[in-house]
Each structure stands twice: as structure tokens, then as C-alpha cells.
Structure 1
């Protein structure tokens, strides 16, 4: 009995370590929370709005109840706006463990509202994909090339041979910086100050005089 108890304690420690590891990975893959979901669009999705469902927490990456599937052919294109600027360091794709898994992904930086015709231009980065059923495979992104990203386009031009492409999870690892909005300061100038309105130290407040 003591041996069994000791074994169980070891199992608890191991599970705790795994939990901490997954939590850390989950934090790194939290950029999905910085997507402007209202304006995200997926072209050629078979069900309207299903493209948004694949951007979820790392912990839920293996929830295959929600997915996006292409419609007319195997191509999918995501236009992904962010609520600030991001620096992308890694990308993870989980598709079906069959020939509907995407075969390639092409990345475009800061080119909003791209169409399939626009995607025929040279991509900023592209990767040949392999089956990744557990989501442990990451494609490294060059942070220097993908820093200050406020919009990301992902183009999946083909799969491994099926008529339609299916994707369960798209994970983005990196850093987020809030957008800085520079407001316009409106200043009112008096061409001829009224002494009655400025009884004390009228001219002390004047730092520059326009001749």
C-alpha cells in the first residue's frame, strides 16, 4: 500500500507539471483574444461564421466539434484584423487527420480585405504543412518580418487531395501591444484677451507672442 500511495503522489506531481506546462503554452498562444472577431472574415467557408470558430484557446485546440470547411473548392482565406499590434513568433494548424488537411499556408502582413485574386501575389511567408493531430507542431515565424502586424491574412491554397479542406484550430504565438490612438488637441486662442476675464497675472500666462 505505501508503494501504491507513493506512486500516486508521483503521478500527481507529473500531472501538475504537465498542467503548468500547458498553462504556459496557453498563455503564449493567447493572441486569439486580440483578434477583432466582429470583422474577421473567412472566404469560401461552407457555413457562415464558422471560420471564427477555429481561433480558440490552446487548451481547447482538440475540441473537434467546431471547425471550418471549405465550400466550392479546397481553398480557404482568412482576413484577420487585430485590436492592436502583434509580433508573431509561431503558427500552429490542426486539420482533419486525412486528406482534407491543408497542405500549405501563405501569410500576408497588413493587407486588409484580401481576395483570392489578391492572394496570387507573392506572400510574405509560406509553409508546407504536415498532419498535426495534437497541435504540438509549430511553424516558426520570423519576428522581425512579422512585427507591428495589425492585420494578418492566411491563405490555404490546397490540401492533400480532397475536394474540401477542413481546419479545427489555428493558433498564433507572439506578443501584443495595444494600439496607440493620437487624439487631436483643440486649443482656443484669444486674439485680444479681456482684462476683466484675467484680472490676475494676465501676461504671466502668455509664453509666446505671435508678431
Structure 2
């Protein structure tokens, strides 16, 4: 599994992309394409959209999301269109509150703790401890035409809670097309299916005498 974190990931891109006034950072940051009011967090203290921040706010640790009853956490993230995902961006911690893994499920809108253990993630990554934003490259072929993504943190690295500061996505967005209206046309008329009109031969009108 390929993933970059810290010095090998977003850290190398910070000077290049994090320009003054550049809210997105990466040109393909999907922050504006996330349906933020409808982000759902399960077993969490706070609202899911708390960690859906702009690129310029990614290192802000004043706002975060933390698991509640135990160290498991689910975030359902809907998009406003169709997405081809390139990478996940994640800042978590500190130390043993960092999730051990992150599991991604494409287009699983209603997944919960009861059924998630029986489902195979579309892709899964180990999460290292660190203060930087990690960039996790996904297998793009498995994340095309995505309308939503469910992010599952199955356990912390020792603490009773899992804490997330920032969650972001990189990729391509396109407007979701409505279902097409299908009209069936008769490709070619079959003369045997049609009653001949008086005065017509093979569809051609007879000349007047």
C-alpha cells in the first residue's frame, strides 16, 4: 500500500502549494465539492463537518473530532457530484489517540458499526503517529464515479479515544448527471407490419392517370 506522510508526503508540497490566500492548497482539493452539512459522524463527540476544513486550516488543532464510547469512529462523507478520488488527507493524534488504521468504503451510504466488520474495505492504510497531514494515495480504479465515501477508524494506537483534526480529499469532480430519459424508436419500418394504403405500391404513390 502506498502512502506518504509527513516529510515524504504533504510536507514536500507545502511550500509549493500553500501560498497566501490559497485556500485549497492542491488544485484538485475537493473541499468545495464536499456536502459538508450532510457529513455524518458515528460514535463521535461533535459534528462530522468539524474536521472537514479548508487547506489553510488543516493544522488548526483547536477544532477536532473524538470518538465517544470507545476508540472506533465512522465518518460518512457525501460529495455534491461524481468524484474520481486520488488521495485521502488525514491529520490525527496526538500520539496514542492516533488511529491504527483507516479503512475507506466507496459508495457505502448507510454502513454502520453492526455491519462494517463483515464488509471488505475498498482500500485500507496503516496510520503513523505524527503531527503532519498525511497523504494516502488510493487505487484510482477502485474510486471512480464516487458519490460518497465512508471512512472507518477501527481502533486507536492505545488510547480509549481516537482523535481526528483534519480530513480532506484530492481528486477530480464532475457534475452528477441525471438519469437519461430512454425513448425507443423504430429503427426501420417493416412493410409487412403496416397495412398498404390504397393507391400505394411499396410505399410509393402511383402517378395520376
Q: Give the TM interval when normalised to the shorter protein.
A: 0.7 to 0.9
Alpha-carbon distance between aligned partners in 1 of 2:28 and 2:120, rounded to the nearest angstrom: 27
* Structure with more of its chain in helix, by fraction: 1
Alpha-carbon distance between aligned partners in 2 of 1:109 and 1:18, rounded to the nearest angstrom: 28
What are the superposed Cα offsets for residues 17-51 of structure 1, whole Å, 9 maximum, x if unpaired? Answer: 9655224871335312211122210000123x1x2
Structure 1 residue aligned with 2:86: 89
Alpha-carbon distance between aligned partners in 2 of 1:32 and 1:152, rounded to the nearest angstrom: 14
- Compute the TM-score of the two structures, normalised by the length of structure 1: 0.72
Structure 2 residue aligned with 1:22: 18
Equivalent of 2:73, from 71, 76, 84?
A: 76
Alpha-carbon distance between aligned partners in 1 of 2:73 and 2:55, rounded to the nearest angstrom: 22
Structure 2 residue aligned with 1:132: 130
Structure 2 residue aligned with 1:31: 30
Alpha-carbon distance between aligned partners in 1 of 2:78 and 2:154, rounded to the nearest angstrom: 20
- Compute the TM-score of the two structures, normalised by the length of structure 2: 0.73
Q: Conserved in 1, the CA contact under 8 Å of 2:95 and 2:130?
A: no
Give the direction of change, closer, same or farther, for the CA distance of 1:99–1:29 in structure 2 (3 Å limit). Answer: farther
For these two proteins, the number of residue pairs brought into alignment is: 167
Give the direction of change, closer, same or farther, for the CA distance of 1:106–1:172 in structure 2 (3 Å limit). Answer: same
Structure 2 residue aligned with 1:197: none
**Are residues 1:165 and 2:162 paired?**
yes
Alpha-carbon distance between aligned partners in 1 of 2:147 and 2:18, rounded to the nearest angstrom: 27
* Structure with more of its chain in strand, by fraction: 2
Give the CA deviation at 1:119.
Answer: 1.2
Q: Conserved in 2, the CA contact under 8 Å of 1:76 and 1:155?
A: yes
Q: Conserved in 1, the CA contact under 8 Å of 2:17 and 2:26?
A: no
